[in-house]
Amino acid sequence: MPNLGALVTEVKRLVESRVPILDDAIVTHIQRAQRAIEDRGQFMVQEHSITFQHNLANQFTYDVPSDFIANRMTPIYTKKSADTQLIHMIESNDFTVIGKTSTFAPGPPKYWRDSVSEATGNLQWKIFPRSDDLGPSQVTSGAYDVNFPYTRRLTTLAVIGETNWWSENLDDVLAWKAAAMVFAELRDPLAEFWNGLSNGRFREILNQYKRNKVRTSDFQIYPKQSLSSRSKRRFGRQIVTRIP
């Protein structure tokens, strides 16, 4: 199973002009290659979500997860009704309106926005209005379970011997991209070659991955039918031609 140690060895094999200080940077380049893949957000393994219990005690602000890259869709929350159901939250970019928290009477969550903590500089989510503590949450009494679907980063390869989904499935993409970065530091034109090879291999894997997702997108199971019955419906009447 490919791991960080194997990737480092592969990069060293590809880069024949060895400079000790660059050898020390190979792990860093592999980590950068991983981030470059993750920033595209193309693979299902990156799909994740987090649920906050929005109640009066928690007020408005919730910390964004450390592995967060981008939102995948509009947040949803559970609304209490005769039949508990998921309701899409309403998005709003009108910060001048939703920023005035005092204008909102407490109730179910209606709006959300990105925010930056003045204390830490970290990204946060703000949810408006304050909870009326009448939510149906089974985790925190009276809270509304607000779910944020997002695209995430996987565990960064940092220790020799570590593996993750990228090293096991895109090891060649990581090694070739890292080699391109090393060659770029050496001002070697081979950087362009290995970067192109890495990008091309990534596209091949991504196209295959997308084809597999298409194959599994139809959840219907069809009854077994004879070949003749299928062919009649699909092709209509049979056309016979004579070869001269």
- Domain spans of the chain, in order of start: 4-43+156-209, 47-152
pTM of the model: 0.79
Burial class (CB in 10 A: 0-12, 13-18, 19+), 219: exposed
For position 215, what pLDDT does the model report? 62
Burial class (CB in 10 A: 0-12, 13-18, 19+), 159: exposed
Q: Which two tokens stand for residue 194?
A: 């290995």
Residues 6+ apart with CB under 8 A from 200: none
Q: Could you tell me what percent of the chain has a pLDDT over 70?
A: 77
pLDDT of 229 above 60? no
For position 101, what pLDDT does the model report? 53
Q: Which two tokens stand for residue 183?
A: 């060659």
pLDDT of 47 above 60? yes
Q: What angle do CA 183, 189, 194 make, to 5 degrees?
A: 60
For position 174, what pLDDT does the model report? 97
